[in-house]
Amino acid sequence: MKKLISALVSVFILCSSVSLASVGGMAALKDDINGQLQTANLEVENALAVLAERLNQKLDRLDAYEKKYCNTKGENCQNAAALTATDETEVKDVIIHKVVGGWVGKNHSTHQILNEQPDFDFLDIDAQKAIFDKHLCLEVHFKTTSEIKFAKPLYMNKTIVLCAQDAGGDGLINIDLVDSDPTDGGNTTHVKVAEGKAGWRCFNPDSNLGNSGTAFGYDSDGSRVIDKVDGILNNCLVQKSADLSF
């Protein structure tokens, strides 16, 4: 924890004339971090709401969701030559690089065979990541130091995954239980995401998803950097794990 705080102090000093030796400086840093995380949480919750609605409407035929955010390199902007107000907000305030959501795995339904798969970066199915196969998930990538000014180590270049939990409390929603194949034995609790924070399980590993040994929201010594996020992203703090082998 001490190493991360020292790093954050150095970053903040570079971008502010306010000394972090003062109580006001520490408060300003904390407010900056909290503001960034709340903005990120809003974007994540909006994406999850879209996936939940599409599940309710189209079940296994739901369309993939993807949103990319403008960054300091001019990528994913409405007008990189002359940034719009939306672009400027995303460059300054949105710490997310992109979110991608949908059914994980190939050819689990006719819709997936005929249409493009979600453009996941890390959820390709192999022995290590089979935990996501057949589930409805959102992959969230955070910006790097080259994509947002004064990036904080607690989120930069991290990836988390949130997967939908069924309304019956039996676990992750499975595409086999909501598709049109009668031999799978459908389950009505799998056609709706559970309410609130209980509806999304977060996978926030130290050593997988490209996180290089430290999960989102944590320091390299394993200590939590932030106490709480008011929203779904808080699931990622409390459900942090060493890897994906659980």
pLDDT in tens, 149-196: 989 999 999 999 999 999 888 899 999 888 765 555 556 667 889 999
Joined tokens for residue 246: 């659980």
Strands 200-205 and 159-164: antiparallel
Helix (H) or strand (E) holding 41: helix 23-58
Q: Where are the domains of the chain?
A: 2-241
DSSP label of 219: -
pLDDT, tens only, 223-240: 998 888 999 999 999 999
Q: What is the mean pLDDT of the chain?
A: 85
Nearest Cα to Cα of residue 134 among 166, 177, 193: 177
Joined tokens for residue 94: 């949105």
How far apart are alpha carbons 90 and 85 in whole angstroms?
9
Say which amino acid occupies 66: E
What is the model's pTM?
A: 0.85
How far apart are alpha carbons 98 and 199 in whole angstroms?
21
Categorise residue 192: left if φ over 0, alpha if ψ from -120 to 50, beta otherwise: beta
**Would the pLDDT of 13 be above 80?**
no
Q: Helices (H) and strands (E) in the chain — how many of each?
A: 5, 6
pLDDT of residue 53: 95
Least confident window among 18-22, 114-118, 201-205: 18-22
Percent of all residues in the chain with a pLDDT value above 70, rounded to a whole number:
80
Nearest Cα to Cα of residue 231 among 39, 103, 12, 27: 39
Residues 115-144, mean pLDDT to the nearest whole number: 87
Please, which pLDDT band fits residue 47 given cuts at 50, 70 and 90?
very high
pLDDT of residue 9: 45
How far apart are alpha carbons 95 and 71 in whole angstroms?
9
DSSP reduced 3-state for 116:
coil
Residues 111-136, mean pLDDT to the nearest whole number: 78
